[in-house]
Amino acid sequence: MPEKYTYLILDLLTIAGPLFLSFDKKVAFYKSFKLLGYSVGITSLLYILWDIWFTKTVIWEFNSQFLLGRYFLELPLEEYIFFLVVPYACLFIYRCLQEYFPNLSNKRWGNWAHSGMMLFSAGIFISNTDKLYTAVTFGLITLTLGVVLVLNRNPFKQYSAHLFMAWIVAIIPMFYVNGQLTGLPVLIYNNTENLDLRVGSIPFEDFFYNYLYMLWMIVAYEFFNSKFRNPLSSTL
């Protein structure tokens, strides 16, 4: 098969399992498509703008050898598909954990784990303001968690453990998908703008780039879920 289909195939592999299992009776993820549209749509739009910015400024670039060759606003078609299939898969993991491990919601360690992440991210940000990918990723994590843990602490506590565990579980398929993207490479990084620290072939920042995405998406998901259940209530 021609190499130009590589990124597209990775996108399809990412969505195949979660899409097939979306009709599992216990999780019934297909019933969440409306919520998925709101939470993924808002978050993916922000990330696509981020992606366009970083591509224009050559923080990273795409290897045309592994692409179909169709671009819009600097990004290949496959990248837009990526920002649909990856959040779908991540939110599916989160919902599965909620349904199959409901007692996690009773664990108090969730907010502590995210508080630790905020302090860790703040330290990385402060010491690496000269590296754009590092600074933006960890700076946004610090800011987001600061806002959530102050303004939304009690509602966030109800799902924070599930969110953190979903990120940990999502790292497993990430090793394969991102490993292919960065190992071939489909995506080429400017290492002067990151820590130049890799886990396998994956830049260290990528794991936290995904954490931030899941944080934004799941907070949005739970907000809209609360609004749809009770239009007069709000979790923010």
The phi, psi pair for 202, rounded to 5°, reads -90, 125
Distance between CA 94 and CA 112 in Å, rounded? 19
Burial of 175 (0-12, 13-18, 19+ CB in 10 A): middle
Q: HSE of 217 in the Cβ direction (CA atoms, 13 Å)? A: 31
Note the pTM of the prediction, 2 decimals.
Answer: 0.91
Amino acid at position 23, single letter? F
Could you report the per-residue pLDDT of 117-160, keeping only the tens digit for each? 999 999 999 999 999 999 999 999 999 999 999 888 788 888 99
pLDDT of residue 50: 96
Closest CA to 89 of 210, 203, 206, 182: 210
Q: Which residues of the chain have pLDDT under 50?
A: 231-236
The structure tokens 């799941």 sit at 218
pLDDT of residue 235: 45
pLDDT of residue 30: 67
Amino acid at position 140, single letter? L
pLDDT of residue 229: 65
Could you report the per-residue pLDDT of 70-82, keeping only the tens digit for each? 999 989 999 999 9
pLDDT of residue 22: 77
pLDDT of residue 230: 58
User: By three-state DSSP, how is residue 131 classified?
Assistant: coil
User: By three-state DSSP, how is residue 174 classified?
Assistant: helix
